[in-house]
Protein backbone atom coordinates (compact mmCIF):
# COMPACT_ATOMS: atom_id res chain seq x y z
CA UNK A 1 0.00 0.00 0.00
CA UNK A 2 1.23 3.48 -0.81
CA UNK A 3 1.82 5.86 2.05
CA UNK A 4 0.21 9.31 2.12
CA UNK A 5 3.67 10.80 1.45
CA UNK A 6 4.11 8.61 -1.62
CA UNK A 7 0.69 9.58 -2.93
CA UNK A 8 1.55 13.24 -2.36
CA UNK A 9 4.82 12.72 -4.26
CA UNK A 10 2.89 11.33 -7.22
CA UNK A 11 0.39 14.15 -7.16
CA UNK A 12 3.12 16.79 -6.98
CA UNK A 13 4.62 15.74 -10.30
CA UNK A 14 3.89 17.93 -13.29
CA UNK A 15 2.62 14.96 -15.26
CA UNK A 16 -0.86 15.04 -16.78
CA UNK A 17 -3.66 13.49 -14.71
CA UNK A 18 -3.89 10.35 -16.85
CA UNK A 19 -0.18 9.66 -16.48
CA UNK A 20 -0.34 10.25 -12.72
CA UNK A 21 -3.21 7.76 -12.59
CA UNK A 22 -1.14 5.21 -14.52
CA UNK A 23 1.72 5.83 -12.08
CA UNK A 24 -0.58 5.26 -9.09
CA UNK A 25 -1.69 1.94 -10.59
CA UNK A 26 1.90 0.88 -11.27
CA UNK A 27 3.02 1.98 -7.81
CA UNK A 28 0.19 0.04 -6.13
CA UNK A 29 1.04 -3.00 -8.25
CA UNK A 30 4.71 -2.66 -7.30
CA UNK A 31 3.85 -2.56 -3.59
CA UNK A 32 1.52 -5.56 -3.97
CA UNK A 33 4.15 -7.56 -5.87
CA UNK A 34 6.74 -6.67 -3.23
CA UNK A 35 4.35 -7.88 -0.57
CA UNK A 36 3.76 -11.12 -2.47
CA UNK A 37 7.53 -11.67 -2.78
CA UNK A 38 8.10 -10.68 0.85
CA UNK A 39 10.63 -7.95 0.13
CA UNK A 40 11.51 -4.91 -1.91
CA UNK A 41 14.19 -6.49 -4.05
CA UNK A 42 14.54 -9.05 -6.80
CA UNK A 43 12.43 -10.14 -9.73
CA UNK A 44 8.66 -9.88 -9.80
CA UNK A 45 6.83 -12.99 -8.62
CA UNK A 46 5.55 -15.35 -11.27
CA UNK A 47 1.88 -15.97 -12.04
CA UNK A 48 1.72 -19.07 -9.81
CA UNK A 49 3.07 -17.13 -6.82
CA UNK A 50 0.62 -14.31 -7.46
CA UNK A 51 -2.30 -16.77 -7.69
CA UNK A 52 -1.24 -18.52 -4.49
CA UNK A 53 -0.90 -15.27 -2.55
CA UNK A 54 -4.25 -13.98 -3.79
CA UNK A 55 -5.95 -17.27 -2.88
CA UNK A 56 -4.78 -16.74 0.70
CA UNK A 57 -6.35 -13.29 0.98
CA UNK A 58 -9.61 -13.71 2.91
CA UNK A 59 -11.20 -10.60 1.40
CA UNK A 60 -10.89 -12.18 -2.07
CA UNK A 61 -12.13 -15.64 -1.14
CA UNK A 62 -15.73 -15.05 -2.14
CA UNK A 63 -15.02 -13.71 -5.60
CA UNK A 64 -12.87 -16.04 -7.73
CA UNK A 65 -13.62 -14.08 -10.92
CA UNK A 66 -12.27 -10.88 -9.39
CA UNK A 67 -9.26 -12.77 -8.05
CA UNK A 68 -8.50 -14.09 -11.55
CA UNK A 69 -8.85 -10.65 -13.11
CA UNK A 70 -6.69 -9.09 -10.40
CA UNK A 71 -4.04 -11.79 -10.88
CA UNK A 72 -4.00 -11.16 -14.63
CA UNK A 73 -3.51 -7.42 -14.06
CA UNK A 74 -0.69 -8.05 -11.59
CA UNK A 75 1.05 -10.31 -14.14
CA UNK A 76 0.78 -7.54 -16.74
CA UNK A 77 2.08 -4.94 -14.26
CA UNK A 78 4.96 -7.26 -13.30
CA UNK A 79 6.01 -7.51 -16.94
CA UNK A 80 5.85 -3.74 -17.35
CA UNK A 81 7.88 -3.21 -14.16
CA UNK A 82 10.49 -5.70 -15.39
CA UNK A 83 10.74 -3.71 -18.63
CA UNK A 84 11.08 -0.41 -16.77
CA UNK A 85 13.76 -1.86 -14.47
CA UNK A 86 15.87 -3.56 -17.14
CA UNK A 87 18.82 -3.59 -17.47
CA UNK A 88 19.76 -1.51 -14.41
CA UNK A 89 17.91 -3.53 -11.76
CA UNK A 90 15.06 -5.94 -11.19
CA UNK A 91 11.38 -5.04 -10.95
CA UNK A 92 11.05 -5.12 -7.17
CA UNK A 93 14.17 -2.99 -6.75
CA UNK A 94 12.24 -0.05 -8.21
CA UNK A 95 10.83 2.67 -6.02
CA UNK A 96 8.38 5.47 -6.57
CA UNK A 97 11.10 7.90 -7.69
CA UNK A 98 12.15 5.41 -10.39
CA UNK A 99 8.57 5.17 -11.67
CA UNK A 100 8.16 8.96 -11.72
CA UNK A 101 11.49 9.38 -13.56
CA UNK A 102 10.47 6.73 -16.12
CA UNK A 103 7.12 8.41 -16.68
CA UNK A 104 8.74 11.82 -17.13
CA UNK A 105 11.20 10.36 -19.67
CA UNK A 106 8.29 8.81 -21.59
CA UNK A 107 6.35 12.09 -21.55
CA UNK A 108 9.44 14.05 -22.67
CA UNK A 109 10.01 11.60 -25.53
CA UNK A 110 6.39 11.95 -26.67
CA UNK A 111 6.60 15.73 -26.58
CA UNK A 112 9.90 15.77 -28.45
CA UNK A 113 8.36 13.84 -31.31
CA UNK A 114 9.75 11.00 -33.42
CA UNK A 115 12.48 12.92 -35.26
CA UNK A 116 14.19 14.60 -32.30
CA UNK A 117 15.88 11.67 -30.51
**pLDDT tens-place string over residues 55-105:** 999 988 788 899 999 999 999 999 999 999 999 999 999 998 899 899 988
Number of domains in the chain: 1
In a domain, 111, yes or no: no
Q: Closest Cα partner for 44 from 6, 95, 96, 93?
A: 93
pTM of the model: 0.87
According to the model, what pLDDT value does residue 116 have? 55
Q: Is residue 60 part of a domain?
A: yes
Nearest to residue 105, comparing CAs of 117, 94, 93?
Answer: 117
Q: Which domain holds residue 34?
A: 27-102
Amino acid sequence: MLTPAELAELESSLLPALERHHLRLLAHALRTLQRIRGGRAGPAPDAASIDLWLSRQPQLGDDPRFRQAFAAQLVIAAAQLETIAAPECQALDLDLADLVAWSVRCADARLAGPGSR
